[in-house]
Amino acid sequence: MSRAAPIGVFDSGVGGLSVLAELRRLLPHEDFLYLADTAHLPYGARPGEEIRELTGRAVAELHARGVKAVVVACNTASAYSLEHLRARFDMPIIGLVPALKPAVAATRTGVVGVLATPGTLRGTLLQDVIRTFAEPAGVRVLTAVSAELVPLVEAGQADGERTRAVLREVLAPIAEAGADGLVLGCTHYPFLAGSIRAEFGHAFALLDSGAAVARQTRNVLQGSDLLNTHQAQGAVASFVTGDVEAARPVFAALSADQAEPVHLAAVSA
């Protein structure tokens, strides 16, 4: 496999752009192919078998385009699909784990919250992480879930009034319980940081998995001798399975830190 090959990044929508930003920060010389399965968004309420099928289809598309590794930048897809993907594809597959370990290490109140999607809450990965890190430390974990937040971010309303109303509703019990850390258990949720701060100030620290998965990706590529040795700035090509024009303004708004414009092209759903 070529060191110069791009890295694939997959999410059900635009949430994975938060992970892509961390990847580009840590791996500036790598090229990336970003694939958003916007035709089937959101994944959270879908059955596990369907999530595995859709994720497998997306990773197969990236594999066919010549990527050297894939980052599954979707908590729901990671919760249901990593084992199946690693058995199917002969390339590194890196997934997301909710950032509960640093939240547990940092808490002073002994209470932390997790803002999750319905799919992540149903899967076993979050419960495994709670059993591994929170329970032995005696830390209480409170979960909040909403099926509305991902579509609101996808619609470009991360700072909208409806978004803030949903956040007030689902996060108020966590704040009232004394949580001093909030794990953002979906890659869409870092884009809600401004709205969360507007509603709750600094009641809790916000933690997500983007930087950690970027470090893990670097370590995996280094261990497999797949890091790009070129010194030029890497490029990004982005693809969606749904309506390109509908996705374009949201991609532009959430990718303001990229030096080049985001180019979108539809791929088969």
Catalytic residue of the set 74, 77, 94, 254: 74
As annotated, the binding site for substrate includes: 11-12, 43-44, 75-76, 187-188
- The reply to whether 74 belongs to the active site is yes
10 Å Cβ neighbour count for 110? 14
Q: Give start and end residues of each alpha helix (H) in 66-183.
A: 75-88, 100-106, 118-122, 124-129, 135-137, 149-154, 161-176
Do residues 80 and 53 touch, judged by C-beta distance below 8 A? no
Q: Are 6 and 212 in contact (CB under 8 A)?
A: no
Binding positions = 11-12, 43-44, 75-76, 187-188
Count other C-beta atoms under 10 Å from residue 195's C-beta. Answer: 23
In 3D space, the residue among 61, 82, 79, 43 whose CA is nearest the CA of residue 188 turns out to be: 43
Q: Which of 115, 130, 186, 214 is catalytic?
A: 186
Name the residue with tokens 């309506």: 243
Active-site positions read 74, 186
